[in-house]
Amino acid sequence: MIDQSRIRNFCIIAHIDHGKSTLADRIIEKTGTLTSREMQDQVLDNMELERERGITIKSQAVRIVYKAQDGEEYIFNLIDTPGHVDFNYEVSRALAACEGAILVVDAAQGVEAQTLANVYMAIDHDLEVMPVINKIDLPSADPDRAADEIEDIIGIEAHDAPRISAKNGINIEEVLEQIITKIPAPQGDPDAPLKALIFDSLYDPYKGVIAFFRIMDGSIRKGQRVRMMATGSEFETVEVGYFGAGRLIPCDELGSGMVGYMAASIKTLQETRVGDTITDADHPCDEPLPGYKKVNPMVYCGIFPEDGAKYPELRDALEKLQLNDASLFFEPETSVALGFGFRCGFLGLLHLEIVTERIEREYSLDIITTAPSVVYRVYKTNGEMLEISNPTNMPDPSEIDYMEEPIVSAEIMVTSEFVGAIMDLCQERRGGYISMEYVEPTRALIKYDLPLNEIIYDFFDALKSRSRGYASFDYELKGYQRSKLVKLDILVNREQVDALSFIVFEGSAYERGRKMCEKLKGEIPRQLFEIPIQAAIGNRIIARETVRAMRKDVLAKCYGGDISRKKKLLEKQKEGKKKMRQIGSVEIPKQAFLSVLKLDEE
């Protein structure tokens, strides 16, 4: 059994793009776990999408061996965490499995809002935060300033932080040495009953669910009977082991302080929820580790196959995605406009985007998504309370006493020249101002309470465009707040298109309705008759546009005997028609459903 004093468990936290995955790659490379030839860029991010977007979606871990300058061999367990707020819960579980965190700060960009949020989360988990200043080889790099910022804004020592270039492999050795000196070794009791934290899990078609865990006390062996303390399910471990780079390496036993995995013919991810505690079924520990909570989706939308016949394929894709993503929720939904599809729940907008992209890419399905919605609380006059995430389920206004919507606490860090623009934006989005402080002379941290439904459309885009890309943003759910909300319906040729309905703040309804109609007018091609496009609240029409009837589509030209050319023209026409959705007698292109998702910044 490995001596705990030779183990270091840590993660790397960073703002997106500050070089977290690149540093992980260098650490793995320097420690010789893999030869240079085996190295692929970003070995930890093995999903195709992760690599392409340069972000980490699922937490992963790797065990590496480092022969330090003191001549001893150390075991490093590096746990990779997602950087985005949507996956905060996963981040926090990953942090709970570590004793320390390497904080990567871009020498040119300095500290950003997301960095702060992640650092505070690490400090909350009593982690030793070890700063590293990256990208020192950039022409715009200012490592002294970055170090000052870390000390001033975060309040941790940074003048001796390694100054590195992960990309070019500069000063990586110093990082490795500091991991040993700065990050504490695990302090668990090797002889106590097994107590291990699940920080991630993964579905393997052959082995079933594989749970990733960190052993706090005791040890785990192959063939041991274990119990999941939150769910109560018990299993006999079929395999235990640790993480090579990109692969699992089985072993007989893992001791206290170690990070590893187990497989036990577990059928569903629901039985091994992230945050749960694994213990010995026969000699259980007294109490589970703190912090298990069920994560609920924050954002919902409808997903429909573009080709109605592909419904079974879509269900299949969602089921497979869910095997590896317990936070993805879905249930069947039927839309008059879009046919059979699914109502899906996500942790946030990025999560939504990733899932939809994976469906399109990994399963080659063309899909239509409806406007994202948050979960509203509808208090009815009869005292009943409904949680509504689908506008279609909204009760008649006469039955509604009042409604509540989710509010988030948002932190935005921005350079001083854009403070005005960003505060205007928050104001427009019904934000409630909380505070603003200058963390340094040229940068401010602005705090607002914002309704979640105001940030799920295109808040990120607006934020970026109004700050020329400089603002960074982070949020967490704060609670619910009473609000005047209405359901806005869109009628095309006097027929309601359910897939275009949404719930909106009453004060923004008129503006939104008008923009929707305008946008749809541009997206719906002229047809054989005039098409009114209307926005309505209940029976009240609040906006209208008209798509005029097509006047002319005729081939008044002499192609002589070249009939193939005529036919090709007609085939193209027919093909274009096939891509449309038939609503009553009107054909609506897929693009029309998507275009209304981006209404605001124009």
Partner 1 sequence: MSLPFGLYIHIPFCVSKCRYCDFLSFPADRAARKAYLSRLIREMRVRSSGLGSRKVRTVFIGGGTPSILGDEQISRLMEAVFSCFDVEEGAEISMECNPGTGEALSFRNLRSAGINRLSLGLQSMDDEQLRLLGRIHTKRQFLESYEKAREGGFDNINIDIMSGLPGQSLASWMRTLDEVCALKPEHISAYSLIVEEGTPFYSIYGEGAGRPSWPPLPDEDTERDMYHEAEDFLKGQGYTHYEISNFARSGYECRHNLAYWLRGDYLGLGLGAASLIDHVRSANTRDLDIYMKHSFEADAFLRSPLCAEYTKLSEKDRMEETMFLGLRCSLGVGCGQFEETFGKDIYSVYGPVIDRYEKLGLLEEKGGRIRLTRAGIDVSNVVMADFLLD
Q: Which residues bind partner 1 (CB under 8 A)?
A: 528-529, 550-558, 560-564, 566-567, 569-571, 573-574, 577
335 vs 582: CA distance, rounded Å: 12
Closest contact distance (angstroms) between CB of 318 and partner 1 is 29
364 vs 317: CA distance, rounded Å: 10
Closest contact distance (angstroms) between CB of 112 and partner 1 is 40
433 or 529: whose CB is closer to partner 1? Answer: 529
249 or 555: whose CB is closer to partner 1? Answer: 555
253 or 530: whose CB is closer to partner 1? Answer: 530
309 or 435: whose CB is closer to partner 1? Answer: 309
Closest contact distance (angstroms) between CB of 532 and partner 1 is 17
Q: At which residue do the structure tokens 């195709």 appear?
A: 48
Closest contact distance (angstroms) between CB of 561 and partner 1 is 4
434 or 528: whose CB is closer to partner 1? Answer: 528
484 vs 453: CA distance, rounded Å: 13
1 or 550: whose CB is closer to partner 1? Answer: 550
Contacts of 447 (CB under 8 A, 6+ apart): 409, 410, 411, 412, 433, 434, 435, 436
End-to-end alpha carbon distance in the chain = 62
181 or 564: whose CB is closer to partner 1? Answer: 564
Contacts of 324 (CB under 8 A, 6+ apart): 58, 202, 203, 269
Distances in Å between the alpha carbon of 141 and those of 16, 119, 134, 135, 165? 17, 22, 9, 7, 11
| DSSP β-bridge partners for residue 334 | 340
262 vs 238: CA distance, rounded Å: 7
Closest contact distance (angstroms) between CB of 547 and partner 1 is 14
Per the document, the length of the chain is 602
Q: At which residue do the structure tokens 């909204």 appear?
A: 394
Please name the residue ranges forming H helices in 9-70: 20-30, 48-53
Return the SS3 of 277.
strand
387 or 562: whose CB is closer to partner 1? Answer: 562
Closest contact distance (angstroms) between CB of 549 and partner 1 is 9
Work out whether strand 220-221 and strand 253-254 pair parallel, antiparallel, or are unpaired.
antiparallel
Contacts of 585 (CB under 8 A, 6+ apart): 493, 529
Closest contact distance (angstroms) between CB of 529 and partner 1 is 7
Closest contact distance (angstroms) between CB of 551 and partner 1 is 5
